[in-house]
Amino acid sequence: MSKAEAYQFLNQASFGATEAEAQTVISMRRENWINDQMQKPASLQLPHLQALPPPQFPFQLHADRVDIWFRNALYGEDQLRQRVAFALSEIMVVSQLGALGNLPFAVADYYDMLVQNAFGNYRDLLEEVTLHPAMGVYLSMLGNEKPDPVNNIRPDENYAREVMQLFSIGLVELNIDGSERLDGQGKPIPTYSQGIIEGFAHVYTGWTFAGAPGFRQARPTRFNQVIPMQLYPEFHDPGSKTLLGGEVLPEGQSGEKDLSDALDNIFNHPNVAPFIAIRLIQRLVTSNPSPGYVRRVAEVFNNNGSGVRGDLGAVVKAILLDDEAHPALAMEIDGKLKEPLLRVTQLWKAYDATSNSGRFPLNAAYILFGQGPLQSPSVFNFFSPFYAPPGEIRDSSLVAPELEIATEYQNTLFTNLMLLQCFVLNSLATDRGDDDVFIDFEEEMTVAGNTNALIDMVAGKLLGGEISETLRAEIAGMVERIPETDTAFRAAETIYFVVTSPEYAYQR
């Protein structure tokens, strides 16, 4: 395996390739690296938040939650687990923006739940997501009551709809390769109707914060926002309910039994395998997986080789080891645009980013980069998996989800932030604040008098050594305008050129 191939793999499986980790992958090989990563203990957020002194207002802890997210992404040994959890957080979305603003412990624990289930079973994950107070608050299942016509109370349909549309099966029936199933008139077949949404909405009644004296007396506390919701049977609808595929839950079942049967009903739907396969492939490897790639991964979801359905660890391995994840011959449809956060974390990992305080308090990440950890503007994530910008991509029936947030404003802001990072917030700066994140390029300064050696070093750290002649020539033309003695300026200019280039933004 070449260094460039190791970088390609690590940019799919971690928060950014580094030369040291690339050498580890080269010596271990891909599968052994994955196996080793799956054994690493999980780096968590909630214990960090719980150890901090209580702030004046609960929402202030979100800055600490984002801080520990960046620390885990940059320094955590469980890189693959953290990367998969980030992917899952963009599928099974909750966000601090909105109803969870004053529940930072719930948000941190929700992310920890994704981290801990990254290689677990999808059925277990589906249940933990469903009963987590963060999701209960975010999609209003928490406090959902059985029908009461006298008081004009009807079960809330929000979670019932989104768990199917966004977390499991999508809107139309799929073949195993992700293509749409069509009816006799050549039209897509809907996966569910309004009646089925109502059936699930009635299933999800009677659950709220645990430990309260009564259903309507339940309030969030520091403790019950991080444990599964509790069923209060008198507020659960005991009637029959129609689910996917015409399955009917009989009248008189307990709320726990209704929930278990309903989640089994979703889990066993044939759409789940291709749906999850496509979403995870898009987040980790490529925006436009071939039908064959989707089918191969979906088949592993259906059976991990030992008769187990829903094994996410096996699914992740199948995604990363598939030939299409590292094709022998590159094509224009390969790969994806790196999400802004991933461009930032790769730069920071490559150049040992830190701050005087050791913190990364970037609670405004969603403003600075267009996205932040559990800071989506809605349950539909920062961008749609179906987004295709007008022009060549849309005309070719391809998608580029990440381009939905690549607006002129966001791209300009990101470029300016990289300018600040390279030219101001570096290890030579003397007036940085305690929480300013700075990079260290003193190694580059030692070769900065030699333009080609400087470009080679930066390209080695950020591009795996692969740099086009066009980009090399543009960098050289600028660097050679700077005196050889101004090594810091030369190093900063070279890094800035690379991190703002299309070659860096593109994940092969």
Confidence of residue 200 (pLDDT cuts 50, 70, 90): very high
- Segment holding 241, helix H or strand E: strand 241-242
Higher pLDDT among residues 508 and 320, named by residue: 320
Q: How many Å apart are CA 397 and CA 389, to the nearest integer?
A: 10
Residues with Cβ within 8 Å of residue 237, at least 6 apart in sequence = 146, 147, 155, 202, 203, 205, 206
Binned at pLDDT 50, 70 and 90, residue 297 comes out as very high
Residue 430: band (very low, low, confident or very high) from pLDDT cuts 50, 70, 90 = confident
Q: How far is CA 21 from CA 188, 229, 435, in A?
A: 45, 41, 27
pLDDT tens sequence across 168-191: 999 999 999 999 999 999 999 999
Instruction: Give per-residue pLDDT as tens, 447-489.
Output: 999 999 999 999 999 999 999 999 999 999 999 999 999 999 9
C-alpha 27/C-alpha 214 separation (Å) is 58
pLDDT at 330 (0 to 100): 80
144-163 burial code (b ≥16 CB/10 A, e <16): bbbeeeeeeeebbbbbbbbb
Structure tokens of 38?
């799956």
Average pLDDT over residues 154-160: 97
* Residues 295/301/305/307 CA torsion (nearest 10 deg): -130
For the record, the structure tokens of 337 come out as 């645009």
b/e sequence 394-407, b meaning 16+ C-beta within 10 Å: eeeeebbbbbbbbe
pLDDT, residue 182, reads 97
Mean pLDDT along residues 306-316? 98
What pLDDT is stored for residue 331 in this prediction?
80
> What's the token pair of residue 313?
């660890």
The tokens describing 483, both together, are 């005196």
Per-residue pLDDT tens digits for 31-42: 999 999 999 999
pLDDT at site 361 = 86
Residue-level pLDDT at 332: 77
Please check whether residue 96 is in contact with residue 108, taking contact to mean a CB–CB distance below 8 angstroms: no
Check the CA dihedral 483-484-489-495 and report its sign.
Answer: positive
Average pLDDT, the chain: 97
pLDDT, tens digit (0-9, with 9 covering 90-100), for 319-340: 999 999 999 888 878 999 999 9
Mean pLDDT of 3-32: 97
Question: What tens digit of pLDDT does each residue of 58-83 get?
Answer: 999 999 999 999 999 999 999 999 99
Instruction: Give residue 495's pLDDT.
Output: 98
Question: Average of pLDDT values for 125-137?
Answer: 98
